[in-house]
Amino acid sequence: MELIANKKTAKYIRAIAFISLIFSIGLATLISLCVIIAKIAGPPPVSVPQTTVFYANDDSVIGQSKTAENRHWVALDQISPFVREATIAIEDQRFYDHYGFDVRRIAGAIVADIKAMAKVQGASTITQQYARNLYLSHDKTWKRKAMEALYTIRLEANYSKNTILEGYLNTIYYGHGAYGIEAASRLYFNKHAADLTLAEASMLAGIPKGPSYYSPYLNEQRAKQRQALILGQMREQGYITKAEEAEAKQTKLALVPLNQNEVAAQAPYFQDAVQAALLHDLKIDEQIIEQGGLRIYTTLDPKLQAIAEQTVQSTIPDSTDIETALVAMDPKTGEVKALIGGRDYKKSQFNRATQAYRQPGSTFKPFLYYAALEQGFTPVTRLKSEYTKFKLADGVSTYAPTNYNNYYADDFVTMMQALAVSDNIYAVKTHLFLGENTLVKTAKKFGITSKLDPVPALALGSSPVKPIEMTNAYSMFANGGKKVSPLFVRRIIDRDGAVLYDAHLENEQVLDKNNAFVTEEMMTGMFNKKLSGYATVTGQGIIPKLTRPYAGKSGSTKTDSWMIGFTPQLVTGVWVGYDKERDITSAAEQRYAKNIWADVMEKGLEKEKKEKFKQPAGVVALDINPKNGKIATKGCPLKVKMYFTKGTEPTEYCMDHLDGEDEFNKIQLKAKDEQKNGWWKKYFPW
């Protein structure tokens, strides 16, 4: 009987062995087929939506794309080794040894579940979790599990272990909207993933098992218990010593308060302008901007932006509905350093700096006087300032502009003085003399793209333009006549580190540099009290605030108040007015633009060198009597340094204040000597 029993047992063993062999062969064949299929199918795409980040010109973060998920992809070597070790220790100890499925762990999980008669232990590897995060929903159907297995095989067959680990760490959810270790590192500790300590890394590694359950914000005790478990696993697996484990457990973690984790919406109007530039100027697809993980380096100067915002807030009271726009640019490059499109972005997202069309008033006059210089005028060209009715081209219609407060010289004034006090009569006379189309063509040369009507009132800024257009145009006075365009983006880098765009600026010379310089110097007149006479210079009220040389022009209409001015380093334009057609009636409101401009320029340039505009070789300077436009002599009570393109400077001396016959004779002899020896002797006496 015993022999028969032994034979039966041997038979069963052989049968089980045969079945096991067949099963093993079948399983091996199935796995081989899966691997072959995975190889034929090729590597699955592993890209995921990533947050695009916007940087200021000091590389500080100013904002990010408005995706629902906060994602930042970083290379594996840019992730702290503590993170990698802690994650493997707690999630997948044999990660580098298996081929996507940990058979030992699966068997152990099955035994544990049978003993407990419930699902108590998971067996998913890092590769399986990565596959689930990339391609699948998190439902518990058999179909999902089968698809997960197929994706797992495809990942393992086509990617290295380090690539899979990098993908996992960049896609796993760490709670509070943070996907990936970089986003989590910034969220919890305000640092990059590369800089995480052992204590911080072990804390973060415990969160993915239950982002809400193990969040240190929601339950610090549970988070610490999970951290301790992970540190113990790391010690057992040889990643850290017992002393390092103890020290990490005792370390008090400095979590960033949760309400401070969202990136502050700095310069929202500026960021909107950046978005518009990306879409319309650089032709970047909106989806790529939102989810492409781009790094967009902008031109924003955070310090200057803060100065501008604080100045507007302190200058314009909350009790008024008046609005404002401000643009500050580097005149050499066109880079927009600060931009304000309104007083409250939450109330109105309409960007008045880049979208609003407003009448520029007298800020349009510098373009006219540049055109006049090209046609033979000089800073001392004199026209009579008096109330005038101009007869228009049809021979019937008339146009009768007035000066501010009806102040007229009732005498001849120079072009420089007319600009300094903003004489409207002088401007319209010049405009009509040159022909209305001349100003239109000249403004286009300055980069003005808005529609301009060639009418007499254009000399006084009757055609609406955008604040950013005007500020950009004034940059050309500041940079010597070179073409610039408003620039918001310096560089764009894609998710893989490749440079998609780099702003290379080559500024074309489009204005005559001599006439551009002469016009710029005439624009300093609004801050020169010596040019006051029948009217005060328009910058009189802000002169006490200014500590360096500036050039500029103010302007006003019934509904608009402007101030645009510059140094060689910075040009700033400010507009103030009401959104709806409503007059500016308050004297205080009329001063807002000038005061904002003065404070922003002074504070913004506080630590900058006081630079002078570079005088071209083709320009000469003379002391002029501003009353009559003649070369000032010793007795002249007023002398103003004026600049002229060589060959256009005055030669007549002021004889109104000579003390005696000897001085008169000296001047006469000097004039004859210059005439005899030629103009070159004057500039090259050797």
Task: Answer yes or no: is pLDDT of 290 > 70.
Answer: yes
> At a CB cut-off of 8 Å and minimum separation 6, what does 575 contact?
324, 325, 326, 352, 353, 356, 358, 467, 560, 561, 562, 593
Helix axes 365-374, 436-445, angle to 10 degrees: 100
Task: Answer yes or no: is pLDDT of 105 > 80.
Answer: no
Contacts by 665-668, CB closer than 8 A, 24 or more apart: 667/633
- Pairing relationship of beta strands 53-55 and 295-298 according to DSSP bridges: parallel
Task: Return d(Cα 52, Cα 167) in angstroms, integer.
Answer: 18
The amino acid that residue 97 corresponds to is D
Residue-wise pLDDT tens digits, 454-466: 999 999 999 999 9
Phi and psi at residue 407, to the nearest 5°: -90, 125
Residue-wise pLDDT tens digits, 511-553: 999 999 999 999 999 999 999 988 999 999 999 999 999 999 9
Here the tokens at position 451 are 């529609």
Contact 355, 466 (CB under 8 A): yes
Contact 459, 365 (CB under 8 A): yes
Contact 384, 411 (CB under 8 A): yes
Residue indicated by tokens 């600060």: 338
Cα separation values, 294 from 64, 124, 286, Å: 10, 32, 12
The amino acid that residue 428 corresponds to is V
Task: Answer yes or no: is pLDDT of 16 > 90.
Answer: no
The pLDDT of residue 216 is 93
The angle formed by the CA atoms of residues 545, 466 and 434, to the nearest 5 degrees, is: 90
Cα separation values, 408 from 210, 229, 630, Å: 80, 88, 21
Contact 271, 54 (CB under 8 A): yes
Query: Residue 243, Cβ neighbours under 10 Å: how many?
Result: 9
Contact 577, 561 (CB under 8 A): yes
What value does the mean pLDDT take over residues 267-282?
A: 93
What value does the mean pLDDT take over residues 216-220?
A: 89
Tell me the H-state helices in 251-353.
268-276, 286-291, 302-315
Q: Which residues are catalytic?
A: 91, 362
What value does the mean pLDDT take over residues 496-502?
A: 90
Q: Of 439, 485, 478, 447, whose CA–CA distance to 280 is shortest?
A: 485
The amino acid that residue 332 corresponds to is K
| Residues in the chain, overall count | 686
Strand partners, 546: none
Phi and psi at residue 41, to the nearest 5°: -65, -25
Here the tokens at position 636 are 């002249």
The pLDDT of residue 263 is 47
Task: Return d(Cα 319, Cα 88) in angstroms, integer.
Answer: 60
Please report which confidence band the pLDDT of residue 679 belongs to, taking 50, 70 and 90 as the band edges: very low
Residue-wise pLDDT tens digits, 135-170: 654 445 555 566 667 777 777 778 888 988 998 999
Please report which confidence band the pLDDT of residue 24 belongs to, taking 50, 70 and 90 as the band edges: low
Residue-wise pLDDT tens digits, 573-611: 999 999 988 999 999 999 999 999 999 999 999 999 999
Contact 234, 244 (CB under 8 A): no
Contact 442, 430 (CB under 8 A): no
